[in-house]
Amino acid sequence: MDQVIVDIQNLVKRYGAITAVDHVSFQVNRGEIFGILGPNGAGKTTTLEMIEGLRVPDGGTAVVDGIDVRRDPRGVRSLIGVQLQEAGFFDRLTVEETLQLFGSYQRKMLPPSEVIDRMQLQDKRRAWVMNLSGGQRQRLSIAVALINDPRIIFLDEPTTGLDPQARRNLWDVIERFREEGRTVVLTTHYMEEAQRLCDRVAIMDHGRMVALNTPRALIRTHAPSTTVALTVLEGELAYASLPGVRNAEVSNGEVVLATSDPMQTVHALMESSRTGKIGFNQLRVEEATLEDVFLHLTGRRLRE
């Protein structure tokens, strides 16, 4: 079996003078959770919708499990599960009826009750869609994506607008998809989500893909510094010349060090403390995050 299940090459989408997606290429491997991380307007949704065959690209190709989307969009849609960022459902149908309806549009259909159990909507089986909460609606939206038992699931900002508890629940659900051998492609602008869930992350900004790797490798490459912070009570030190330290900021006794070698830096600090050169408390070591990677790559924060 081919390892690559989604293969996109040089995808381009223009809206007038704006290039929403600018020559984006990547491959998604079978069975991984692949994340597209970027701020709003980066082109994540447009990219996803071109792969799903909902938008026609102005250039490039998207091949899903061996099928060219432009040649056979319905063939692709029969293989994939799609959760749209904003999707409308019929207000006065129940959860179960909605699944029956959308299941009837698929070539293959799981029993609605199975999908309802999966998405923990048992209590809402007979509730009208108009009476669901935001989180329940989102679970229904993913249930509809699951109704054809797809090999590949596309989730567009699946946790946006959810409270932290609901978000963590959904992360568990998505991780189970991977355990079942499904491939997941998701977009997000939450770096915690990308870091926690994704095997590999593509970072997008202004329609371009600026980096692609595992979260760990991205951090190692683009944000190699670990932050060591401490509150100094007495004494002074030439912080910038400590081993590994690349940058030191001192203000009101708050010292923030960026280091490429946290072990050596902390060791030196402990040594200075032991010999009485400085006295400090609240030593904290913080790993860099994808937020730092994004900041490094684009000079901006994810949510601005």
Partner 1 sequence: MNAFFTTIVMGFRHYFRDRSTVFWGVLFPLILMGLIGLAFGRSDSLTFSVGFIDLGGGILAEGLRRGLNEVPVFRVVEETDPPQALEALRKGRRTLVVVVPVSAGEPVRVYFDQARPQDSRTALVILERFIAQANLRLSGAKETVRIQATGLQGQRQLRFFDFLLPGILAMTVMQTGLMGVTWVVAEYRQRLILKRILATPIHPLVFLGGLVGRYTVTNFVQMAIIVAVAIAAFNARIVGNPATVIGLLMFGTLVFVGIGFAISTVSKTPESANLLGSAIHFPMMFLSGTLWPREFMPDFMQPVIALLPLTPLVDAMRAVAARGDALGPHLPGLAYLGAWGIGAFALAAWRFRWE
Q: Which of 9, 19, 29, 100 binds partner 1 (CB under 8 A)?
A: 100
Three-state DSSP state, 239: helix
Q: How far is the CB of 93 from partner 1 (least distance, A)?
A: 6
d(CA 235, CA 224): 29
Virtual torsion, Cα 69, 72, 76, 78, nearest 10 deg: 160
Q: Which range of residues in 80-88, 110-118, 256-264, 290-298 is near partner 1 by CB under 8 A?
A: 80-88
**Structure-block tokens of residue 176:** 């189970």
Letters for 260-289 (x = contact with partner 1 by CB under 8 A, - = none) are ------------------------------
What is the DSSP code (8-state) at residue 148? T
What is the DSSP code (8-state) at residue 14? E
Q: Choose between 75 and 224: whose C-beta lies nearer to partner 1.
A: 75
Q: Which of 82, 186, 194, 202 binds partner 1 (CB under 8 A)?
A: 82
Q: Which of 7, 32, 52, 291 binds partner 1 (CB under 8 A)?
A: 52
Q: Choose between 102 and 171: whose C-beta lies nearer to partner 1.
A: 102
Say if residues 207 and 42 touch (Cβ distance below 8 Å).
yes
What is the spatial order of strands in the sheet that 183-188 belongs to?
Answer: 80-83, 152-156, 183-188, 33-37, 200-205, 208-213
**Residue 74 sits in the site that holds partner 1 (CB under 8 A):** yes
Site for partner 1 in 17-46 (CB under 8 A): none
**Residue 126 sits in the site that holds partner 1 (CB under 8 A):** no
d(CA 298, CA 210): 8
Q: Which uninterrupted H or E stretch holds 295?
A: helix 290-298
Burial class (CB in 10 A: 0-12, 13-18, 19+), 64: buried
Three-state DSSP state, 159: coil
Q: Choose between 9 and 78: whose C-beta lies nearer to partner 1.
A: 78
Q: Which of 40, 59, 90, 220 binds partner 1 (CB under 8 A)?
A: 90
Q: Which of 25, 106, 169, 272 binds partner 1 (CB under 8 A)?
A: 106
Q: Which range of residues in 9-17, 97-105, 221-229, 279-287 is near partner 1 by CB under 8 A?
A: 97-105
Q: Which of 13, 77, 139, 189 binds partner 1 (CB under 8 A)?
A: 77
Q: How far is the CB of 47 from partner 1 (least distance, A)?
A: 15
Three-state DSSP state, 107: coil
Q: Choose between 58 and 199: whose C-beta lies nearer to partner 1.
A: 58
**Residue 15 sits in the site that holds partner 1 (CB under 8 A):** no
**Residue 54 sits in the site that holds partner 1 (CB under 8 A):** yes
Say if residues 99 and 92 touch (Cβ distance below 8 Å).
no
Say if residues 259 and 265 touch (Cβ distance below 8 Å).
yes
Helices H / strands E in the chain, number of each: 10, 14
**Residue burial 16-53, b: 16+ Cβ < 10 Å; e: rest:** eeebbbbebebebebbbbbbbbbbeebbbbbbbbbbbb
**Residue 105 sits in the site that holds partner 1 (CB under 8 A):** yes
Letters for 141-170 (x = contact with partner 1 by CB under 8 A, - = none) are ---x--------------------------
Q: Which residues bind partner 1 (CB under 8 A)?
A: 52, 54, 74-75, 77-78, 82, 84, 86-93, 97, 100-102, 104-107, 128, 144
